[in-house]
Structure 1
Amino acid sequence: MNSFKLAVVAALFGGAAFAADPGVTDTEIKIGDVNIMTGAASFIGRAVSIGSKIAAAEINEAGGVNGREITIITEDDGYVPARSFQALTKLIEVDEIFALNGTSGTANVLAMMALIEENNLPTIVSTAPNELVYDPVRPSVFTLGASYSDAFYAQLKYIHENDEPENAVYGLIRQDDDFGVAVEHGYDRAIEELGLEDGGRIAFKKGSSNFAAEMVEMRSEGVNVLANGGIIAGAANILSEARKLGMDLRAAQVWSEDMPLSVNLAAEAGYDYYVADYVALVGEANDAFMEKAAHYVSDEELEAINRYTYVTYAALHAMAEAMRGCGQDLSRACTIENLRAMEDFDVGGIMAPLSFNNEYQLSGTALAVYQLDAETKTFTMVEDFADY
């Protein structure tokens, strides 16, 4: 057989690594992570990266994905959409990743979407479950988590049915962006379906820190149930202004407000506010996860764990399960098909079992409602996981 024929045979019948999609060798699978590693929101990005680290270490310790170890490659976007696009370009063209498991914020993942679709990149969006991400659905994109809309509806429904003050008047304050619009959708739904009295809505510029005028307006309208669409310092400042005005409030908050940093800021106002989240903040599953995490990360990293750690951990385990189903002939197309068929995949109880076999390729939508004890800075689950 001449050398030309040998070359043809080699091309046709070569090893799996030769024919594989980018990011796969006989011993390794490269998973990309575009993340917020610098800037004011870097504590979120760090928590995300810790989730990937724990999951990858656990998977690799158990033999990897059919013998291949997972390697996580992280690029910092500083929470800037233009940098997200640049970061993913580098991960695809230079690092040659196989899939993407960290996607930063809503605007950031939308900025990357053209690259994701062009490369048919298996992607699990675990930190920005906004409707804009999964509607319209993109074939290779899977979204993990409930919508902000459902989260606010769940809280307001709970307050209405279990903790509504006398002469209840509801009000909304939210950012003037896509996130704020999603919050308002949940508020609208609650007002309409539950027949609540709407005392008014206020949109504020993202990054605002002074809410004195807005809360004076809320008080003048008699608002005593507030849908607080601020985030972290913004949410805390809104509650602080309400306290200065002597407002007796039931407050529904974004799930970012169950993180230790947020709680430390907001609890000073003294409100036992609510959050709805699609991860387990308390209970046996939470305790078991923290015990497991201690085997794989440093004490400093253990302190940095928050809700975003759980969702990224769950997402990487789902990705690994989909890849595992491809056997040795791992490909992006096979991984996407396996994710699309995934039903009731258990992630250790840190959130409801995952099923992406629906029209939006969306899972983890079940929400639990928690209430903060502002004095002890701890949460109690008041409503178990349910879909809304």
Structure 2
Amino acid sequence: MPFSGAEFLRKPVIKNIFHLRASYYQETEQQIHFLVDEKGMTNIGLMIQADEFGISVEKGYLMALKNRGIKPTVTTRYRRNTNDIKLALSILKAKNVQVVAFVGTYEPFAQLINSAYQQDFTPFFTSVSFISSRDLFQRIKQPSNVLVTEVMLDPANCNEAICLQFMDDMKAQGIKTVDQILFEGYLNAFVFVEVAKQCGESLSQSCFLEKLTNFTYQDKGLTIEFSENDHQGLSSIFLNFFQFDK
């Protein structure tokens, strides 16, 4: 179960690869739906990490925009494993884009948001769940419009049985600060254990894959379900907005 929403891992279905999280295409679609369909923003710039991860998410943004007859106003790129955002920021600012759709990691994104504010450039910023909203939000130093799509419930504000179990287990381990990424890892382990239990003493790779392919878990508002033709167990998308606390 990769920590990735990349489409090439999903289609065509690969026998031994399963997913709990929604895809990047689903995340980018929800972002563009909110920004374009609901907020009427069409002047959109892309800032993409220059690697395969960046390209995979960029394709999602391009598809979502194309479905609405829109092209990005500008596409900029920055080098992986750097915070070198100055040139990209100057290009985005020169185009005065309403939205910056960012693909990368939280440190350069936070620097981009903070630097833009210092230059009186305040577009709406958005990114996918890979960014880690908790790490990003705690680095933003001023009021800013930032949206991160999440593929997991917020476990600290969830009454599902699995959320409560997660919180109890984290507390027992002395972990006080939780987020969606921790919860996703926990759910991966939970599914693994539940499937392994179905095999019992006959646990083997073939048994495990057979049981996982037909696995279903139902908990009120949370349903995890796999099938032979669909190895993605969850498809929910949640909008997480930055809130500035002085």
Q: TM-score, normalised by structure 2?
A: 0.87
Kept in 1: contact 2:6–2:57 (CA 8 A): no
Kept in 1: contact 2:225–2:232 (CA 8 A): yes
Q: For 2:98 and 2:125, how far apart are their aligned partners in 1? A: 8
Provide, for residues 264-300 of structure 1, a one-character-per-residue CA deviation record: whole Å limited to 9, x for no partner. 11x21431311111111263338735641344312xx
- Higher alpha-carbon Rg: 1
2:241 corresponds in structure 1 to 371
Q: Work out whether 1:177 is the aligned partner of 2:47.
A: no
RMSD: 2.4
Change over 3 Å in CA distance of 1:253–1:153 after alignment to 2: same
Kept in 1: contact 2:48–2:78 (CA 8 A): yes
1:133 corresponds in structure 2 to 9
Q: Which amino acid aligns with 1:307?
A: Q
Q: Work out whether 1:314 is the aligned partner of 2:187.
A: yes
- Segments of 5+ residues of structure 2 without an aligned counterpart are none
Among candidates 90, 93, 100, match of residue 216 of structure 1 = 90
Q: For 1:222 and 1:316, how far apart are their aligned partners in 2? A: 45
- Segments of 5+ residues of structure 1 without an aligned counterpart are 1-123, 377-388
Among candidates 331, 346, 362, match of residue 218 of structure 2 = 346
- Larger relative contact order (Cα-Cα within 8 Å, sequence gap ≥ 6): 2
Change over 3 Å in CA distance of 1:175–1:217 after alignment to 2: same
Matches within 5 A, 1:186-225: 186-225=60-99
Q: Which amino acid aligns with 1:371?
A: F
Shift of 1:335: 1.3
Name the SS for the 1:310 alignment partner.
helix
Shift of 1:332: 1.9
Q: Which amino acid aligns with 1:293?
A: D
Q: For 1:370 and 1:251, how far apart are their aligned partners in 2? A: 12
Shift of 1:348: 7.5
Change over 3 Å in CA distance of 1:366–1:291 after alignment to 2: closer
Change over 3 Å in CA distance of 1:291–1:308 after alignment to 2: closer
Shift of 1:360: 4.5
Further displaced range: 173-182 or 317-326: 317-326
Q: Which amino acid aligns with 2:213?
A: R
Q: For 1:331 and 1:348, how far apart are their aligned partners in 2? A: 31
Shift of 1:197: 5.0
Q: For 2:151 and 2:78, how far apart are their aligned partners in 1? A: 26
Q: For 1:187 and 1:200, how far apart are their aligned partners in 2? A: 13
Q: Which amino acid aligns with 1:268?
A: K
Q: Which runs of 4+ in 1 moved over 6 A?
A: none
Kept in 2: contact 1:340–1:361 (CA 8 A): yes
Q: Which amino acid aligns with 1:288?
A: L
Matches within 5 A, 1:72-83: none
Q: For 1:257 and 1:285, how far apart are their aligned partners in 2? A: 25
Q: Work out whether 1:270 is the aligned partner of 2:139.
A: no
Kept in 2: contact 1:254–1:276 (CA 8 A): yes
Matches within 5 A, 1:229-244: 229-244=103-118
Name the SS for the 2:73 alignment partner.
strand
Shift of 1:136: 4.5
Provide, for residues 145-199 of structure 1, a one-character-per-residue CA deviation record: whole Å limited to 9, x for no partner. 122232122112112233335xx40110011111101221121012111233521
Q: For 2:244 and 2:71, how far apart are their aligned partners in 1? A: 27
Q: For 2:112 and 2:170, how far apart are their aligned partners in 1? A: 36
Q: Work out whether 1:325 is the aligned partner of 2:190.
A: no
